[in-house]
């Protein structure tokens, strides 16, 4: 297929001109758009998409090139599903972000996917040995024991977020990703979808996957259509509330004599907890003699972000300058209000300085001096600042549009769940798409419903567990205080093992399964129904 975005898309193995094309009525074209009254009908080229049975001709337009979008793309590559990624950043932005934790639920998947993914991740990672909690005076409050590799088959690995993003990006074929593409309009009709970008280009496919993060414009446009039709659930119409703040960064290379923990083969999380201020400061040694760190706190006054006011496409000038930095995560996306662009990540912001004042005098458990002394080793341009909330949306899909990752479920970063859960979304969605017999609107709708049914309960449990961890470190009240006192009592050691969570280690159902080497066995999984029909296989 040609890389030209406007050229007619013809399924593999189907000669051009082999379909009886009939133009759609004007009323059928703008089923999902920013402003239906302003929408233009599709080019007739979109009508060349085939819905013939037993021929997988699905093409996905993935909006967002963060961890969610890139990992989904690589899974689709293995499944033989056509895709194109539209990423708003240009590739010239600085690498920002802090540490990232990946555990057994996705490491088994990376091993199965091959491409050297697991090996490269291990090279840029350190295995977590546990978590130790200190007070601001440097006194040890308690410790959570790490998880032995034998229990789930893999260590929990700590790495710089930009390093993992680069590993994924390097494996996506360059012809399948478009940079500097701010999607400003999404359309769908019974025959397909289109995404129009601020530079005037348009891309066509069968489905749109919104992997554009917590401030997803794909979600907002989908919700706008449902709201206009009176079909948007009341809970999804409510504005988002941000009650927490996270400020993070990665230090320059440190002196191993001053910070001896950086040369250890494993990485111990070190947390400074301040019950009076209800914030915490986390250190994570990573390869390269560096330390990734994060400050988490409760905002004194929760911030409420109203529903996004979506402009017409005329409000967007073509992109000429580099966009704000966002490449490290699909979870932190641009919010477009009116004709202005705002970004969650604000390098070296004055707000970040204000929040960090509360911890600068605390004793640094990773090395000499105070937290303030340690922070001097991180350039301000590599400091990121984000207001956070947690939310599970009721609506994950509509027609040919579906959401993954933070676009449909948002976690507090303190639980280190966002990257894991977005990849689990991806493997579930790709397995269902692979087994789809044909790409009619009805079949696509069934797949999206199954996807949400399979993933929403797990996402809810993950959000609840993350919220419980957040309360331990940042909650207020007598009950929370008693629980915290019990957990932090240094006469106890608590394990970080969680069978209910870690035994959910799904794989791509159409590839050979990786042997389960763990003592705590993964949940059983069926092979692809398509393979089962062809090979008369039953169950792994």
For residues 508-519, one letter each, b for 16 or more C-beta atoms within 10 angstroms of the residue's C-beta and e for the rest, the string is bbbbeebebebe
pLDDT at 25 over 80: no
pLDDT on residue 338: 26
Cβ neighbors of 235 (< 8 A, separation 6 or more) are 393, 394
Q: Distance between CA atoms of 399 and 324, rounded to whole angstroms?
A: 31
Strand segments (E) across 54-156: 59-63, 82-87, 99-102, 126-134, 140-145
Residue (of 394, 522, 403, 388) closest to 466 by Cα position = 388
Band of pLDDT at residue 27, cut at 50, 70 and 90: very low
State residue 100's pLDDT score: 87
Question: Phi and psi of 477, rounded to 5°?
Answer: 115, 160
Tokens of 332: 């932190």
Could you give the dihedral angle defined by the CA atoms of residues 32, 35, 38 and 43, in that order, rounded to the nearest 10 degrees? -20
Higher pLDDT, 419 or 497: 419
Q: For residues 447 and 440, what is the distance between their CA atoms, to the nearest angstrom?
A: 11
Provide CATH code, domain 26-535.
3.50.50.60
- Residue-averaged pLDDT of the chain: 77
Confidence of residue 168 (pLDDT cuts 50, 70, 90): very high
Q: What pLDDT is recorded for position 424?
A: 94
pLDDT given at position 317: 38
Q: What token pair was written down for 534?
A: 């062809």
Question: Parallel, antiparallel, or unpaired for β 266-274 and 202-205?
Answer: unpaired
Look at residue 17 and tell me whether its pLDDT is greater than 70. Answer: no
DSSP codes of every residue in 38-61? GPPPPPGGGGG----TT----EEE
Q: How confident is the model at residue 490 (pLDDT cuts 50, 70, 90)?
A: low
d(CA 86, CA 45): 20
Share of the chain above pLDDT 70, in %: 75
Q: Which residue is associated with the tokens 């840029």?
A: 124
What are the angstrom distances between the C-alpha of 129 and each of 146, 158, 499? 5, 10, 18
What whole-number distance in Å separates Cα of residue 430 and Cα of residue 440? 17
Q: Are 222 and 416 in contact (CB under 8 A)?
A: no
- pLDDT of res. 496: 64
Would you state the pLDDT for residue 411? 83
Q: Place 527 in a pLDDT band, splitting at 50, 70 and 90.
A: confident
- Give the mean pLDDT of 295-312: 60
- At residue 352 the predicted structure's pLDDT band, cuts being 50, 70 and 90, is low
pLDDT score of 252:
92
Query: Is 296 or 171 the better-scoring residue by pLDDT?
Result: 171
Residue 405's closest CA among 69, 60, 62? Answer: 69
Average of pLDDT values for 91-113? 83
Contact 239, 307 (CB under 8 A): yes
Query: Between vectors from CA 270 to CA 267 and to CA 276, what angle results, nearest 5°?
Result: 165
Residues 39-84 pLDDT 10s: 344 444 444 343 333 345 789 999 999 999 999 999 999 999 999 9
* pLDDT over threshold 90, residue 493: no
Q: How far is CA 327 from CA 79, 175, 331, 478, in A?
A: 25, 18, 10, 41
Model pLDDT, residue 536: 57
- What average pLDDT score do residues 245-259 get? 89
Strands 391-392 and 397-398: unpaired
Three-class SS string for 343-382?
A: ECCCCCCHHHHHHHCCCCCCECCCCCCEHHHHHCCCCHHH
Across 139-166, average pLDDT: 87
Residue spans per domain, the chain: 26-535
Place of tokens 């990423």: 87
Region 324-335 average pLDDT:
34
Average pLDDT of span 516-525: 89
Helix residue spans in 138-200 (DSSP H): 149-152, 161-171
* CA gap 309, 227 in Å, rounded: 13
**Is residue 100 a contact partner of residue 128, using CB atoms and an 8 Å limit?**
no
């Amino acid at each position: 297929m040609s890389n030209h975005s406007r050229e007619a898309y013809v399924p593999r193995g189907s000669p051009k001109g082999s379909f009886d094309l009939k133009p759609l009525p004007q009323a059928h074209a703008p089923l999902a758009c920013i402003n239906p009254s302003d929408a233009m009908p599709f080019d007739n080229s979109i009508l060349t998409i085939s819905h013939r049975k037993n021929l997988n001709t699905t093409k996905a337009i993935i909006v967002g090139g963060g961890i969610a979008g890139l990992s989904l793309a690589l899974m689709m590559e293995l499944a033989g599903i056509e895709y194109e990624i539209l990423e708003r950043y240009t590739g010239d932005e600085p690498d920002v972000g802090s540490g990232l934790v990946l555990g057994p639920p996705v490491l088994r998947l990376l091993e199965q996917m091959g491409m050297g993914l697991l090996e490269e991740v291990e090279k840029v990672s350190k295995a977590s040995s546990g978590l130790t909690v200190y007070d601001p005076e440097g006194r040890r409050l308690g410790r959570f024991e790490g998880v032995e590799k034998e229990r789930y088959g893999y260590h929990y690995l700590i790495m710089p977020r930009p390093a993992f993003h680069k590993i994924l990006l390097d494996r996506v074929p360059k012809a399948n990703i478009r940079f500097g593409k701010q999607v400003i309009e999404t359309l769908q009709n019974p025959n397909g979808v289109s995404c129009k970008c601020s530079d005037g280009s348009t891309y066509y496919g069968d489905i749109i996957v919104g992997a554009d993060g917590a401030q997803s414009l794909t979600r907002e446009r989908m919700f706008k259509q449902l709201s206009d039709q009176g079909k948007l659930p009341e809970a999804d119409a409510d504005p988002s509330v941000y009650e927490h703040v996270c400020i993070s960064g990665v230090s320059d290379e440190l002196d191993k004599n001053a910070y001896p923990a950086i040369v250890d083969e494993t990485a111990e999380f070190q947390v400074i907890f301040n019950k009076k201020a209800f914030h915490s400061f986390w250190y994570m040694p990573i390869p390269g003699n560096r330390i990734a760190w994060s400050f988490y706190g409760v905002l004194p006054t929760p911030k409420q972000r109203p529903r996004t006011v979506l402009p017409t496409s005329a409000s967007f000038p073509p992109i000429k300058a580099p966009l704000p930095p966002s490449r490290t995560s699909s979870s932190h996306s641009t919010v477009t209000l009116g004709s202005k662009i705002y970004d969650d990540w604000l390098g070296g912001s004055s707000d970040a300085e204000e929040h960090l004042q509360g911890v600068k005098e605390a004793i640094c458990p990773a090395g000499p001096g105070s937290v303030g002394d340690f922070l001097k080793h991180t350039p301000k341009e590599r400091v990121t600042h984000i207001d956070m909330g947690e939310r599970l949306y009721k609506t994950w899909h509509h027609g040919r549009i579906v959401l993954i990752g933070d676009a449909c479920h948002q976690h507090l970063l303190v639980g280190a769940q966002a990257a894991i859960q977005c990849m689990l979304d991806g493997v579930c969605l790709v397995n269902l798409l692979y087994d789809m017999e044909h790409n009619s609107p009805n079949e696509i709708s069934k797949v999206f419903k199954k996807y949400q049914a399979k993933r929403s309960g797990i996402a809810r449990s993950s959000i609840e567990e993350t919220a419980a961890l957040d309360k331990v470190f940042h909650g207020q009240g007598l009950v929370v205080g008693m629980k915290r006192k019990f957990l932090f009592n240094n006469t106890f050691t608590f394990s970080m093992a969680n069978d209910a969570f870690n035994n959910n280690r799904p794989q791509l159902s159409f590839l050979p399964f990786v042997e389960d080497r763990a003592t705590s066995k993964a949940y059983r999984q069926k092979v692809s129904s398509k393979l089962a029909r062809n090979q008369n296989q039953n169950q792994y």
